[in-house]
Amino acid sequence: MASRSGNRYWVDLFHARHLVLFSYWLMFFYYLLSPSNAYDINIKIEEHAYETFAKYLTVNPSDQ
């Protein structure tokens, strides 16, 4: 992110860091309520991230 000027504005870093914290605690409490559903959502998120990054690398092979 920093190599692509993603840290140019402090508000971008602020939102990114706080969104990560919010999503972590949201999944933490969701896990307390329903562990199997929390695992299922995490698997879907990771699969989506993998597929998205794989598509990105096919379009931009120099970023490997």
pLDDT for the residue numbered 63: 80
End-to-end CA distance of the chain: 14
Residues 42 and 63 in one domain: yes
Is the pLDDT score of 5 beyond 80? no
pLDDT for the residue numbered 28: 96
Q: Give the range of the structural domain holding residue 14, as residue numbers without chain letter.
A: 1-33
Residues 64 and 48 in one domain: yes
Chain mean pLDDT for the chain: 90
Helix (H, G, I), strand (E, B) or coil at 23: helix
Residues 21 and 39 in one domain: no
**Left if phi > 0, otherwise alpha if psi is -120 to 50, otherwise beta: which for 24?**
alpha
pLDDT for the residue numbered 16: 87
Over residues 32-61, the pLDDT tens digits come to 999 999 999 999 999 999 999 999 999 988
Residues 10 and 23 in one domain: yes
Total domains in the chain come to 2
